[in-house]
Chain A
Amino acid sequence: MTTIQPNLQKEPIRYRLKAFFMKPANLILLFFLAALAVLSLFPMVTMLKNMFTVHAGTERKLLRLSVGSWTLNHFELLFQDREWSRANFFTPLLNSLIVASGSGLLGILIGGTVAWFITRSDLKCKKFISAVFVFPYMMPAWTLALFWTNMFQNSKVGGGVVGMVESLFGVCMPEWFVYGLFPMIVVIGLHYSPFAYLLIGGILKNMDATLEESATILKARRFTIIRRITIPIVMPAVLSTFLLIFSSGFASYTVPVFLGSATRTFTLSTKMRALIQAGYEGQGYIIAFISILLGTLILGVNQYFTGKRKSFTTVTGKSGQVSLVKLRGGNWPISILLIVLTMFFAIMPLFSFALESVIKQPGNYAASNMTLDFWIGTEASAYETGMPDGILMNGMMWMGLFRQVGLAIAVSLIVGTCGMLIGYACVRRRGTWLAQAVENLAFFPYLMPAMAFGTIYLAVATGASFKWMYGTFFLLGLVASVKFLPFASRSGVNSMMQIAPEIEEAATIFGVPWVTRMARILFPIQKSAIISGYLLPVINVMREVALFTLLVPYPRYLLTTMLFSFNETGYSQYGSAVTLLIILIIIAINALVNKLTGASFDKGIGG
Chain B
Amino acid sequence: MKRVLSLVLVLILTCAIALSASAEGVEDALKAASAMTNEQLYEKAQAEIAAGAQLNFYSTTSFAEKAAANFMEAYPALAGKVVYAEIDDGETYTKLTNQIGSGVKDSPDMALVQNGPDLKVNLLEDGLSLNYFPAALAEVVPEKYQDPAVVTFINSLMIYNNKEGSVGVANVWQLVEPEWSGKVFFKDPTNETVNLNFLIMLTSPEWTEKMTKAYEAFYGKAWESTEFASASYQWIDGFLKNVNYTFTSASKIATGIASGAAGNMGIFVFSKLRKVDENDRGNLTVLQFENDVDCFSGFMYNVYATVCKDTDCPYACALFINWLLSEEGFAGSKSWNSSQGYYSPNTTILKPEGLEDQPYVYWDGKLVFEDLDYIDGLGESYNDIYRFINVRVSK
User: Which residues of A come within 8 Å of B, CB atoms?
Assistant: 56-58, 60-62, 64, 81, 83-84, 86-88, 91, 155, 158-162, 179, 257-258, 261-262, 264, 266, 273-274, 276-279, 360-364, 369, 384-386, 388, 458, 461-462, 467-468, 470-472, 550, 553-556, 565, 568-572
Contact = CB atoms under 8 A, between A and B. Distances in A.
A363 B247 CA distance: 16
A458 B248 contact: no
8 contacts: A84-B387, A159-B256, A258-B248, A261-B248, A274-B190, A388-B65, A467-B103, A553-B85
B394 A91 contact: yes
A475 to B, nearest CB: 10
B121 A58 contact: yes
B244 interface: yes
Given A470-B102, A550-B94, 12 more contacts: A56-B122, A58-B382, A61-B121, A62-B382, A62-B383, A83-B391, A86-B394, A91-B394, A159-B260, A160-B262, A467-B104, A471-B104
B218 to A, nearest CB: 26
Contact of A160 (B90, B264, B274): B264
Contacts of A468: 102-104
Contacts of B244: 158-159, 262
Nearest to A466: B102
A361 B395 contact: no
B246 A179 contact: yes
A570 B259 contact: no
Interface in B27-83: 58, 62, 65
A277 B191 CA distance: 7
Interface stretch (B14-22, B275-283, B289-297): B275-283
Contact of A57 (B86, B91, B93, B379): B93
Contact of A386 (B58, B62, B383): B62
A262 B182 CA distance: 9
Interface residues of B, number: 69
A39 B276 CA distance: 46
A266 B103 contact: no
A362 B253 CA distance: 13
Interface in B98-120: 98-99, 101-107, 118
Given A159-B185, A570-B251, A88 B106 contact: no
Contacts of A471: 95, 98-99, 102, 104, 107
B157 interface: no
B227 interface: no
A62 B381 CA distance: 9
A58 B118 CA distance: 8
A58 B190 CA distance: 14
B191 A385 contact: no
A469 B188 CA distance: 32
B249 A87 contact: no
A187 to B, nearest CB: 16
A264 B97 CA distance: 31
A361 to B, nearest CB: 4
Contacts of A277: 90-91, 94, 191
A80 B1 CA distance: 54
Interface in B305-335: 334
Contact of B245 (A86, A261, A369): A261
B12 to A, nearest CB: 14
A361 B259 contact: yes
A570 B254 contact: yes
A276 B94 contact: yes
A386 B193 CA distance: 21
A159 B261 contact: yes
B173 to A, nearest CB: 23
Contact of A568 (B88, B196, B262): B88
B274 A570 contact: no
Interface in B356-395: 379-380, 382-383, 386-387, 390-391, 393-395
Contacts of B261: 155, 159-160
Interface string B230-263: 0000000000000011111111111111011110
B249 A570 contact: yes
A385 B274 contact: yes
Contact of A361 (B62, B101, B279, B390): B279
B213 interface: no
Contacts of A462: 97-98
B224 interface: no
Interface of B: 58, 62, 65, 85-88, 90-91, 93-95, 97-99, 101-107, 118, 121-122, 126, 185, 188, 190-191, 193, 196, 244-257, 259-262, 264, 272, 274-275, 277, 279-280, 334, 379-380, 382-383, 386-387, 390-391, 393-395
A508 B85 CA distance: 56
B394 A88 contact: yes
A385 B272 CA distance: 9
Contact of A570 (B88, B90, B255): B255
Contact of A81 (B193, B275, B387): B387
A306 to B, nearest CB: 37
A159 B387 contact: no
Contacts of A161: 256, 259-260
A262 B246 contact: yes
A568 B380 contact: no
Contact of A159 (B93, B106, B246): B246
Contacts of A461: 98
A288 B387 CA distance: 21
A56 B104 CA distance: 20
A118 to B, nearest CB: 38
CB-CB nearest 4 A-B residue pairs:
A570-B251, A160-B261, A160-B260, A87-B394
A279 B334 CA distance: 35
B98 A470 contact: yes
A468 B105 CA distance: 8
B126 A56 contact: yes
Nearest to A155: B261
Contacts of A568: 88, 248-249
A279 B88 contact: no
A83 B395 CA distance: 10
Contact of B264 (A56, A86, A159): A159
A362 B274 CA distance: 15
B272 A57 contact: no
A219 B50 CA distance: 89
Given A155-B261, A161-B260, A569 B251 contact: yes
Contact of A458 (B94, B104, B272, B395): B94
Contacts of A83: 387, 391
A550 B91 contact: yes
Contact of A261 (B62, B126, B246): B246
Contact of A257 (B99, B248, B275, B383): B248
Contacts of B393: 87, 264
Given A57-B118, A161-B259, A361-B279, A264 B387 contact: no
Contacts of A369: 279
B98 A467 contact: yes
Given A159-B244, A257-B248, A554 B86 contact: yes
Contact of A565 (B88, B98, B191): B88
Contacts of A84: 387, 390-391
A553 B87 CA distance: 8
B270 to A, nearest CB: 14
A159 B257 contact: yes
A478 B254 CA distance: 39
Nearest to B187: A261
A571 B245 contact: no
A52 B106 CA distance: 32
Contacts of B257: 159
B58 A470 contact: no
A364 B258 CA distance: 13
A277 B254 CA distance: 24
A202 to B, nearest CB: 38
A262 to B, nearest CB: 4
B86 A361 contact: no
A360 B255 CA distance: 11
Contacts of A384: 274-275, 334
